[in-house]
Structure 1
């Protein structure tokens, strides 16, 4: 598959992840009577990855996340030469999705962007967790997310079930960490919405690049070292 087609798939896959996941938080979770709550937002993020992994994962590998791309490079599953183009496509997809979401959300008469589904620590953490807590949970959860991705896409794993495992893993990750950081594990997702928030989200964005990338790289290295790296693609 040509690089252009793969980058297009990464753009649209990341768009869907941000639009669906952050959209559920900005549009639906804002109305308690709808009853989706944290669990609904967590499920929305998982469903975005699951659906796009089935739809276009066979084209680009279905990363939709710079930390996943880094982890797959570390695990020997992805060419380092394609890393920067993939990350650019992912970030552009995330920013485009956030822009469309902002356009829709701003149509509400009493709209105020506020946090706009951004990630944060301290005063910007939903539970006011510290920078240390945010750093540790983002590293640990991205580590295990990449481990799940590496394992479920291993040639030795049952065929056809990887998107389900990956989607459920992302749902679980959100159920754990929404109160701590509002859940990133994805620098592109964090970047897209940060541009539209009226909080200090941009000043804390560095953490949501550093921690997921470190966790992703460690996850890729660990899976390769412990279990080998027999990828399907």
Structure 2
């Protein structure tokens, strides 16, 4: 695949993640009587990753997240020259999705950005009133686990074809845990894509939703290859499987 194909895939995939996940929160979560609530929003985010992992995973790896790209890069699975272009494409996709979502949402008569526009926050802007420290720890730990699951499920030793399921379900679980804490980021692009439309407090708190996910992802990228690197026996087994296939 060419780099331009990979970048378009990342832009498209991140667009779908933000439109599907944040769109479900803004348009459907609190709808009277039929609202999908926290569980529905959690599933929406998981389903966006699941569907795109099957659609573009073979093209770009389906990162859809600057923190994930940085974690994969730090694990030695991504060329350094692709890292910044990936991140730019992801942010662009998120911003386009935020714009599309704003156009749709503002078509409602009583729409107001003061409702949050699915932005991430802490303190008075946390859905459950959680502190900055709680938000920081939550985002670091959950991003760390998310990237560990990504690295593990895409390891050549893992069962083939199941990575999208593991990754999508992991993101669903992460949202079930942390929507009350931060409205769940674990993804700087997702946070940026809606924060720039919300403005004000969302932008002033955006630093945390870059710092914490990146820290968790880099930690996972550092730990995974060092703790779970293949043993000599694993390598011999893999070599024999390839030889048998030939």
Q: TM-score, normalised by structure 1?
A: 0.97
CA displacement 1:108-149 (0-9 Å, x = unmatched): 011112210000000110011111000000000000000000
- Distance across 2 between alignment mates of 1:165 and 1:68: 15
Q: Does 1:94 align with 2:87?
A: no
List, as ranges, runs of 4+ consecutive aligned residues in structure 1 with deviation greater than 2 Å.
Answer: none
Alpha carbon RMSD of aligned pairs, Å?
Answer: 1.1
Q: Report how far residue 35 of structure 1 moved.
A: 3.6
CA displacement 1:38-66 (0-9 Å, x = unmatched): 00000000000000000011100100000
- Distance across 1 between alignment mates of 2:226 and 2:121: 32
What's the secondary structure of 2:97's corresponding residue?
A: helix
- Distance across 1 between alignment mates of 2:69 and 2:128: 29
- Distance across 1 between alignment mates of 2:30 and 2:19: 15
* Greater Rg by CA: 2
**Aligned residue pairs, count:** 230
Unpaired stretches in structure 1, ≥5 consecutive residues: none
State the match for 1:63 in structure 2.
63
State the match for 2:237 in structure 1.
none
State the match for 1:48 in structure 2.
48
Is the CA contact (8 Å cut-off) linking 2:7 and 2:89 kept in structure 1?
yes
Q: Report how far residue 199 of structure 1 moved.
A: 4.8
CA displacement 1:163-204 (0-9 Å, x = unmatched): 000000000000000000000000000000001115510000
- Distance across 1 between alignment mates of 2:200 and 2:36: 24
1:158-197 equivalence runs, <5 A: 158-197=159-198
Q: TM-score, normalised by structure 2?
A: 0.92
Q: Report how far residue 32 of structure 1 moved.
A: 3.6
1:125-140 equivalence runs, <5 A: 125-140=126-141
- Distance across 2 between alignment mates of 1:167 and 1:199: 31
State the match for 2:113 in structure 1.
113
- Distance across 1 between alignment mates of 2:155 and 2:32: 41
CA displacement 1:74-102 (0-9 Å, x = unmatched): 11111121110000000000000000000
Q: Which moved more, 1:32-41 or 1:52-61?
A: 32-41
State the match for 2:14 in structure 1.
14
Is the CA contact (8 Å cut-off) linking 2:30 and 2:36 kept in structure 1?
no
CA 1:132–1:59 in structure 2 vs 1: closer, same or farther (change >3 Å)? same
Q: Report how far residue 151 of structure 1 moved.
A: 0.4
- Distance across 1 between alignment mates of 2:112 and 2:35: 21
State the match for 1:217 in structure 2.
218
